Amino acid sequence: MTNRKKYPHEDYRGDYYSRRDVIKRLLALGGIGAAGAYLAYAPEDYPGSLRDQSGLRGMPVEVPFRLPDFRVEPANSSIQVGIGRGGDTRTMLLKALDAIGGLTHFIQPGDVVLLKPNVAFDRSPNLGATTHPAIIDTLVRLLLVDARAAEVRVTDNPIESPADCFAKSGIGPAAEQAGGRIYLPDPNAFELLYTPGATLIEQWAFLKRPFKNVNKVIGIAPAKDHNLCHASLGIKNWYGLLGGRRNQFHQDIHEIVSDLSIMIRPTLTIVDGTRVLMENGPTGGDPSNVRDGNAILVGVDPVATDAWAFEHLLQRPGRLPDYLYMAEQKGSGKVNYKDRIKVVT
């Protein structure tokens, strides 16, 4: 009984904070508080400061990029547009290409080439609303085999469901079978493009991803009637690289089309005149609106290409669409194609 304790926990020893521990905790608290105060209240130009006095620092800033110039001088500078007539698609395309110096003059071995057909709608090729798959097939093979391009990409931002448009227009299968690669317009694929001199799209969302490492760009447009701007040809085709709310552009359609002519400086502009949508454009829908135009144009000067196509394919006499004159003013080419074309029959 000698060991009996007065209190049951008499020999209990707790674990107590020392003075030193308390000072350490206070210092840590002070450090965290000071660091927080610095981040929150240090002037904005101090390193690491998170201060946002105006509320504008938190706004997203997108740095626009610029597109390089993809143009190549033609072999003979007096011939800016080659026009092939007579024969099948391949024959006509080769005739037109030869007229301006041949494909190998423009495409060097190892080039990465981007093709921009018009795949705007979920329509079959015979309706003339989209680029015909035959010319895509021919061109991809020519590029890969004859011109020994390293890679051929095909892209567009259609109005309807992209996968469907590529499948049903026949362009997707044609390009892939010929060895090309399709790029679909996923939202991450767009970036802000800066186009100096453009009125409406000085800064606008642009389908950039397919352009990575690309050194040559070829547009392949069908020749179509267009309700508002009279004709959808080589220049109007670049509309398909725009993102954002592009349906506002119809409020000033000629301005936007002429802007497109300076937005991108393609290596070649091809207008496929084998099937011409004469009326009810740009959607078409009735095969009886489509005429055999018996021509393929390959141009270095997109304005002259479109001017010839407007007069000879859509067979519209008189004044050309306003946007061609505006494009000429913006320095994209010359409306007067006389003596600058070569028709090979």
Partner 1 sequence: MSRLRAVIGPVLNRWLRLTRVRIASQVFFFTLFVLAVWATWTSRLGGYPVSALLELDPLVMFSTVLATGYVYKLLGWGLIIVVITFLFGRVFCNWMCPYGTLHQFIGWLFDNRSATRRIEQNRYHPVQFLKYSILIVFLLMSAMGALQIGLLDPIVMMYRAMATFFAPILDTALGRVGGATEGLGVDGSLLDTLKFSPGVEHRIFVGSFWIGMIFLFFVLMNLWKPRFFCRFVCPLGALLGVIASKSVFRINRLVDKCTDCNLCLLRCEGASDPQAQLRQAECFACMNCIDDCPENALEFTALRQDRKQVRPYPDLSRRKVVFAGALGLVAAPALRNDGRVNDENFSAKMIRPPGSVEESEFLERCIKCDQCLNVCPTNVLQPATLQEGGIEAVWTPVMNFRIAHCQLKCTLCSEVCPTGAIRKIEVAEKLGEGPYREQGPVRLGTAFIDTTRCLPWANQVPCVVCEEVCPVAPKAIQTHDEETKDVFGKMVILYKPFIVPDLCIGCGICEAECPVQDQPAVYVTAVGESRSKNRKLLLRSRTPVRPI
Q: Which residues here bind partner 1, judged by CB under 8 A? A: 121-124, 159-164, 167-168, 183-189, 209, 226-228, 245, 247-248, 250-253, 280, 282-286, 289
Q: Find the helix packing angle between 89-99 and 133-141, rounded to 10°.
A: 60
Of residues 69 and 252, the one with the C-beta less far from partner 1: 252
Which of 98, 164 has the CB closer to partner 1? 164
Q: Are 183 and 189 in contact (CB under 8 A)?
A: yes
Pick 251 or 315: Cβ nearer partner 1: 251
Query: Measuring CA to CA, how many Å separate 89 from each of 25, 72, 95?
Result: 82, 24, 10
In single-letter form, the type of residue at position 298 comes to: V
Q: Which two tokens stand for residue 327?
A: 């494009």
Which residues have CB under 8 Å from 275's CB, separation 6+?
Answer: 125, 126, 128, 132, 222, 223, 290, 291, 292, 293
Residue closer to partner 1 (CB basis): 125 or 333: 125
Q: Which among 221, 341, 342 has a CA at the least distance from the CA of 273?
A: 221
Nearest-approach distance from CB 285 to partner 1, in angstroms = 3
Quote the least distance from Cβ 124 to partner 1, whole Å. Answer: 8
Of 248 and 329, the one with the shorter C-beta distance to partner 1 is: 248
Nearer to partner 1, 166 or 337 (CB): 166
Which amino acid does the sequence have at 333? G
Question: Minimum distance from CB of 92 to partner 1 (Å)?
Answer: 27
- Smallest gap from Cβ 299 to partner 1, in A, equals 25
Pick 106 or 166: Cβ nearer partner 1 = 166
CA distance 29 to 132: 71
Nearest distance from C-beta of residue 239 to partner 1, angstroms: 11
Q: Which residues contact 87 (CB under 8 A, 6 or more apart)?
A: 95
Residue 192 pairs in a beta bridge with 205
Shortest reach from residue 168's CB to partner 1, in Å = 6
- Of 43 and 187, nearer to partner 1 (C-beta) is 187
DSSP 306-331: HHHHHHHTS---SPPPHHHHHHHHTT
Could you tell me the two tokens for 195?
A: 């186009």
Minimum distance from residue 231 beta carbon to partner 1 (Å): 13
N-term to C-term CA, the chain: 127
Measured CA to CA, the distance from residue 204 to residue 193 in angstroms comes to 5
CB of 25 to partner 1, least distance (A): 36
Inter-axis angle of helices 253-263 and 322-329, to 10 degrees? 40
Quote the distance between the C-alpha of residue 28 and its chain's center.
54
Residue 284 or residue 293: which is nearer to partner 1 going by CB?
A: 284
Query: Residue 341 CB, nearest distance to partner 1 (Å)?
Result: 30
